[in-house]
Structure 1
């Protein structure tokens, strides 16, 4: 059963990724057709075509390698300029390999032109229209990611601690000692945990503490930390019966918590501790729906985290390579491949001890986060990524604006065909990075579940 659930999780996320790729390309296709650019192909995948059908002037289909997609528009490369600086036919001579690459690309693009296409080529569009077309794909991923995270937060909720006890510790181990020695079992010298001494059991619901009703576990934790050494009345509910007992939180070394109830770390990355009350019990968690107003801040935090990874991508990839070929562990917050995403999806699906609702929410959230990652990654201002085309269009606008201000001739469209050598280098680096991440996800997978 576990194996079948693992496979099901992988398949579900694979379908989600394929749908995300297809919709990303729709984000380019729709504005391109709206602006009357002739689109010759809409393809999901690369390599050999396994199915296609022509509708109107566009061929729609799927290719064998489902690791991306593309929309083919005519006129991506403007014609070369002759020696007089006017747009003309492609030159027949070449002074080097790079020039020949550009001319070959222009020739291939020119072969797609048909009578009547003169005003339907991409490069003749106003800059703002070209930017809309190229941003359509990342924008679609942003919309998908926002909707899916909204479904998770509002429809399912986030895992939050409840007032019901999940575990009761037998003894009290200082936080620094536990971090230093990794001690998990009780020693004869360790004091008995106050929750155990008070008779609290897993499954008990804490109704009140010191006469104050308990509605929030974090609030209860704050009361316990403040009540060190003081005998306090606790009301619990067990199997429908109300029980009153007393508990005396012991003063122990505990981590300092921030406003988000997360441990505060020092400059060395170690938890900061303080003396505070402790009783030795942990809460159960449950999915609590969030309000709609929580969606956009959550998306913003996700985008900020992804942008941090992208901005430090060379170092992150180097760290992955070092971990893959050594005994060092992988950074769980580093980049992963589709293989790693599939593995995580399978592990989530196979966790039979986790409620089905929580697993479904996690899978939806995984696809949503992946869409946000695709959005940010595609905005990198390098060809062949969408951000590279946007950067080229913006540079053209700046050049033409400067020429008008300086009363100089219009420099014409930016010839991105001249950047093909750089494009090939970037594409090769992306393929190499993908191969490295796939290898690392096989031999040294990310462990996010402990």
Structure 2
């Protein structure tokens, strides 16, 4: 039941996010005297609609986005009526048109920041400046494995402790190979039973090398076979990077984490095309990568898992991350994204400035019909990509637990 509740709540969160994004466009356009024809959540066939004033509000069948139809967004608006003409968007100053197109993006940024701020003062946010390198928790003796969860008794400090490694040391490298985490150390050590290795650690800010003679112990493989493996006798110190903040300190902490999310989101957008082969392969049974893009279907399912496991802070942090993704994705300077419209307006201003420098008159709004091929191509790419991700989220979804 909690899983279903989580799915519904995250889907609702996505719906609210889309609604507020489009409301940002709509309300800003109205404030500048533009005519807003339609405000819709979803695409495709109309499910429900109601006309109020000049605007038709409605829901469409495909809940994968929304739109705000402003009369005269371009000078080539073939549906512009005589009644709408005086309120056409293209007739307004460039700064007003830019603000209208940027309003949805700004709403997502403010919403994402607000969600993270609330998390920071309630359960806490990860400290992006925390040292997350593998740290020694304890030096322990080496013991043979009896079954999946039982080990024989042992005494002593173990190989690493005997060599001089201490709790609190930062693990840097093994035999000159850098180690990203304790799993990397474990895998490297298992393959070297009885060997002498050089373990590089950082202590008090200084690197130190220790010659460690690994023990040979018995370990069970996944199929129940007993094999000889190396043991170094170290445990990992738990990372404590989540900090709770008060209302004052939460502002810079939220800004830091927002900047971290923004950089991660930009990197994910840049590398999104190279994820397509993996998405297609996952549809036909291959393993789905943990960093694979998700649709609203997949994100809602993950939201359900988080609620089912009472991870509410992660639930809201994922919703905040979604808002930053929508903001940055819409900044792409190509139609039909908001950034594409802003780029055209910028082009108009630069073009007219150059014309004035040559003593020529300004040309006015750009001819958007020349960009229609680009718009159609981008729309086709987005629809195809979205369909593939939705199919993958149905047949081979990303699962956080089990």
CA drift at 1:49:
2.7
Whether 1:151 and 2:118 are equivalent positions in the alignment is: yes
Work out the number of aligned pairs and report it: 342
In structure 2, the CA distance between the partners of 1:141 and 1:66, relative to structure 1 (3 Å rule), is: same
Shift of 1:38: 0.6
Going from structure 1 to structure 2, the CA distance change for 1:148 and 1:172 (only over 3 Å counts) comes to farther
Distance 1:134 1:323 in 2: 36
Question: What does residue 328 of structure 2 align with?
Answer: 376
| Structure 2 runs not aligned, ≥5 long | 131-136, 189-198, 202-209, 211-231
Task: Using structure 2 for the length normalisation, give the TM-score.
Answer: 0.74
How far the C-alpha of 1:395 sits from its partner, in A, is: 0.8
Determine whether 1:310 maps to 2:269: yes
* 1:382–1:388 contact (8 Å) kept in structure 2: yes
CA RMSD in angstroms comes to 3.7
Aligned to 1:332: 290
Cα 1:286–1:403 shift into 2, 3 Å: closer
Indicate how the Cα distance of structure 1 residues 437 and 250 shifts in structure 2: closer, same or farther if over 3 A, else same: same
Q: d(CA) in 2 for partners of 1:47 and 1:425?
A: 18
Residue 134 of structure 2 corresponds to residue 134 of structure 1: no
Which residue in the other structure is 1:114 paired with? 82
What is the CA-CA distance between 1:282 and the residue it aligns to? 5.7
Instruction: Please say if 1:57 is aligned against 2:57.
Output: no
Shift of 1:158: 3.9
Select which of 31, 45, 62 maps to 1:34: 31
User: Which residue, 341, 345, 348 being the options, matches 1:396?
Assistant: 348
What are the ranges of 5 or more consecutive residues in structure 1 without an aligned counterpart?
A: 80-105, 162-166, 174-182, 198-224, 231-247, 258-262
Per the TM alignment, residue 411 of structure 1 is displaced from its structure 2 partner at its CA by 2.2
Paired position in structure 1 for 2:244: 289
Kept after mapping to 2: 8 A contact 1:193/1:279? no
Q: Give the match for residue 408 of structure 1.
A: 360
Displacement of 1:343? 1.6
How far off is 1:412 after superposition?
A: 2.3
Cross-structure match for 1:100:
none
Q: Secondary structure at 1:256's aligned position in 2?
A: strand
- Give me the whole-angstrom Cα distance separating, in 2, the residues matched to 1:18 and 1:251: 49
**8 Å CA contact 2:282, 2:396 repeated in 1:** yes
Give the whole-Å Cα distance in 1 for the aligned partners of 2:65 and 2:34.
22
Q: Compute the TM-score of the two structures, normalised by the length of structure 1.
A: 0.67
Q: How far is the alpha carbon of 1:50 from its aligned partner?
A: 2.7
Q: Secondary structure at the match of 1:49?
A: strand
| Change in 2 beyond 3 A, CA 1:125/1:270 | farther
1:24 corresponds in structure 2 to 21
Residues 177-229 of structure 1: per-residue CA shift (max 9 Å, x gap):
xxxxxx976777x96575xx9xxxxxxxxxxxxxxxxxxxxxxxxxxx9xx45
* Structure with greater Cα Rg: 1
- How far residue 288 of structure 1 moved from its aligned partner, in angstroms, is 4.2
Query: 1:243 maps to what in 2?
Result: none
Cα offset, 1:249, TM superposition: 6.9
Q: Deviations over 1:13-49 (max 9, x none)?
A: 0110000000000110111001101111111112233
